[in-house]
Amino acid sequence: MANGNSPQTTGGSSNLVDVLETVLDKGVVIAGDIRVGIADVELLSIKIRLIVASVDKAKEIGMDWWETDPYLNSQAALQEQDKLKEENQKLLERLEKLEGKLSSDS
């Protein structure tokens, strides 16, 4: 029975939006360690660190690893390819020099 009235929102959803906005603005860190061991022998140790924040807040605190990760940033991937090409070129030049020395010694 649609009567043209928009559905009323409850105060809970607006509170959730306020909480989410605050979390993204300020940031939240969740940290924990999991250790599995038998007879005082540690078999497994997992350190979990999670930060929830907006991109702007993350950059502000110095967390911008996604900008330099070649799997997440096409510009970083191109830079990585350029570095590899340069390194390969240098290695080829060194190899040619070594081959030249070997052939002149023979």
Q: Based on the domain organization, do 20 and 57 belong to the same domain?
A: yes
Report how many domains make up the chain. Answer: 2
Q: Based on the domain organization, do 21 and 53 belong to the same domain?
A: yes
Mean local confidence (pLDDT), 62-72:
80
pLDDT at 36: 92
Residue 8 counted as domain residue: no
Residue 95 counted as domain residue: yes
- Lowest pLDDT segment from 3-7, 18-22, 29-33, 99-103: 3-7
The residue range of the domain holding 19 is 13-63
Confidence of residue 28 (pLDDT cuts 50, 70, 90): confident
pLDDT at 98: 92
The number of residues making up the chain comes to 106
Residue 4 counted as domain residue: no
The partner residues of 42 in beta bridges, in order of sequence, read 37
Long-range contacts of 78-82 (CB under 8 A, 24+ apart): none
Q: Based on the domain organization, do 41 and 59 belong to the same domain?
A: yes
Mean local confidence (pLDDT), 62-84:
82
